[in-house]
Chains A and B, each alone.
Chain A
Amino acid sequence: MKRRYGFFPGCVMPAKWPWAEKAILLTAKRLGLNFDYLRDTVCCARPGVWKVLDKNGWIALTSYNLALAREQEVALVDSCNGCWLSHFEVNELLRDNPALLAKVNEYLSTIGKFYDGSVEVKHWLQILNEDVGLKEIQELVKRPLRLRVVRHVGCHARKLGDDVLPRYFDEILEALGVEIIDTPYDRMCCGLLLFLADPQTSIKKRAGLKLKTANTLEVDAVVLTCSGCFDQFSRAITLLREEGDLPENPPILHLAELLALAFGFSPSDFGMIYNTTGNIAKLQAKLGK
């Protein structure tokens, strides 16, 4: 029987990045995955906020989603690095510490849930690279993308080291025919959490700096998988445009959007045309569509 995946889109993607959500669903189907939403979830419990303020609460909330994945017999899949980090770290903590697992089950029992540490938590990049494989992805490419992009992997995606998710990200881009342009700021945080404390620095010296660098390098897009990073980049674009400090910039795309384009879907198939983060028409013209 094929492995079943329960996708956790988090809260940013359904509200602000629906074309990315649609692209993930379309490409999962094209890849032949048994892929659907994880149902009845709660918030991932943002690791950068809840973990710092109340570790106990963070573990309990996150365990709820793990318990749902166990009930629904799926591997839990995240595309947002923050959601993935919460689910992954809490799962590891519970697997390593039976006393903590027992405590969490006390909390979960108040709402009729139970968790045993059995769920597999996977980043969407792991599904593509480890479960599907680059060869199969390449075989499905109908239109190699002759694009030059800057990619922002995101800091939480470096949790397992540079040789796992960041490498997967690059390998998938290359499999689609995309040219990756390195920048001096590739490893720098987007500034999402810093925005809570110092909006100016967060916008101007983090996301804004990355966007201006992308402009200077004349790339076609900035590519991400993390919804938290998308939230920060789109906020930075809005604020900098209001100040007249960013006349133009390449669009911010989810890697799944590039995957969908390479697989032969058109931008209107998944709503990419509604992306207002940058000049989509220019990108479409370059793609010859």
Chain B
Amino acid sequence: MSRKTSAVVHSVKKLLHEASKLTVVDVSRETLQYPWRKEISVTPDILKPALSREIRRGVVYPINGESLKLRQLCGLKPEPPHGQCSRKALKSKLVLLKVCRVLDALALKEDGGFLY
């Protein structure tokens, strides 16, 4: 066994030992139920800034200048043809959130700002 291989084996053993002491998420019980909810109490207020951005822009991550350039370099159309960032898509999303009273429930305005 080379010195390098021996070092890797040692690190893996150490890793496995450390892993046995850590709590690894039990997928059968937890991951499908969003483990973070069990670890930290998340209130809607923590999420509101993120949600307000999402409502304002229509998506969690809009296409920006850098992504436009990267898309072209990858041989893709600059704006994704599925239209997720389009005005039409955003309008549909806002109408649905409005009829479902989601904006009221989260105290968010149509432009993504807070009601208070």
Contact = CB atoms under 8 A, between A and B. Distances in A.
Interface of A: 7-12, 14-16, 18-19, 21-22, 25, 37-43, 46, 48-49, 52-54, 56-57, 60-61, 64, 107-108, 110-111, 155-156, 158-159, 184-185, 187-189, 191, 193-194, 196-198, 201-202, 205, 213, 216-218, 231, 269-271, 274
Contacts of B34: 48, 52, 193
Of A11, A61, A198, the most chain B CB neighbours within 10 A belong to A11
B115 interface: no
A187 B32 CA distance: 11
B35 A18 contact: no
Contacts of B54: 43
Range, interface on chain B: 35 or more
Given A107-B96, A158-B27, 10 more contacts: A18-B74, A40-B83, A53-B44, A57-B97, A60-B100, A107-B100, A111-B92, A188-B24, A202-B36, A270-B74
A43 B47 contact: no
Interface in B63-79: 63-64, 67, 70-71, 73-76
Of B58, B67, B75, B82, the most chain A CB neighbours within 10 A belong to B82
A14 B84 contact: yes
Contacts of A56: 100, 102
B17 to A, nearest CB: 10
Of A42, A185, A213, the most chain B CB neighbours within 10 A belong to A42
B58 A42 contact: yes
Contacts of A185: 19, 24
A171 B63 CA distance: 34
Interface string B50-64: 110010001111111
Contact of B106 (A42, A53, A269): A53
B106 A11 contact: no
12 contacts: A15-B61, A18-B74, A42-B92, A43-B59, A54-B102, A56-B100, A57-B97, A64-B92, A184-B15, A188-B31, A191-B36, A216-B15
B82 to A, nearest CB: 4
Nearest to A103: B100
Contact of B61 (A12, A159, A193): A12
B99 A43 contact: no
A218 B12 CA distance: 10
Contacts of A11: 59-62, 84-85
Interface of B: 8, 11-12, 15-16, 19-20, 22, 24-25, 27, 31-32, 34-37, 39-40, 42, 44, 46-47, 50-51, 54, 58-64, 67, 70-71, 73-76, 80-86, 88-90, 92-93, 95-97, 99-100, 102, 105-106
Nearest to A23: B74
Contacts of A156: 32
Contact of B74 (A189, A231, A274): A274
Contacts of B100: 54, 56-57, 60, 107
Contacts of A184: 15-16, 19-20, 24
A39 B92 CA distance: 13
A158 B81 CA distance: 30
